[in-house]
Amino acid sequence: MLQVLRVSVTDHLMTGDRFAVVHDGAGFSRTDKIAAIMKNSLACKTLKVCWAGADQSENCGYCEKCVRTQLNFSAAGAKSSPPCFPSELDVNDIRRIQINNKYQLAELASILAYAREHGVSAPWMPVLQDRLTTWQPVDPGVLERQVNGGVR
C-alpha cells in the first residue's frame, strides 16, 4: 500500500529570524480534516478546493480533486455532497477521473481505508476499489521516475 508523506519541504526555507512557519495538521489525513469541516455549515458552503474549473470562484464538481473531496465527505459519513459542490457525486465520476500518479492513488486509497475503518458502506466503495486495483500509470516510466524522485 502506498502512503503519502505529509512533510512540507519549504517550511524551513520560508522561515527567517523574524518569521516562523509552523507546519500544523500534518498528523491528520485529508478525510480527518474534512470530518472537522463537516461540523461547520458555513465551511461546507464555502469550501474551495478546485483549480480546474472555468470559474475559479467555485468548485467545478467534475475534476479529480472535486471528486476526491466529495469522496472525503462521504468517507467521513456525509450522506450527500456539501453545498460547495454543484451536484451530487456520481459513481461514474470515479470511473472517469484520471489518476495521474502514485500520490493521487495513495490519497484515494486512504479515503477508502478511512471509510472502511469507520464502518461506512456506500455504492462508491467497490467502484473506487476497482479503480485502485486496476490502476496503471499511463507511461510506466512515470512511476519509476516518481519512485526515484524525478517527476512529481
Positions touching Zn ion (CB under 5 A) are 50, 52-53, 60, 63, 66
Q: Which is nearer to Zn ion, 63 or 125 (CB)?
A: 63
C-alpha 143/C-alpha 152 separation (Å) is 9
Least separation in angstroms between CB 71 and Zn ion: 13
Closer by beta carbon to Zn ion, 60 or else 112: 60
Residue with smaller CB distance to Zn ion, 83 or 141? 83
Question: Closest distance between Zn ion and the C-beta of residue 69, in Å?
Answer: 8
Q: How far apart are the first and last CA of the chain?
A: 18
Do residues 131 and 99 touch, judged by C-beta distance below 8 A? yes
CA pair distance 72, 95, nearest whole angstrom: 16
Least gap, CB of 86 to Zn ion (angstroms): 10
Which set of grid coordinates corresponds to residue 29?
489525513
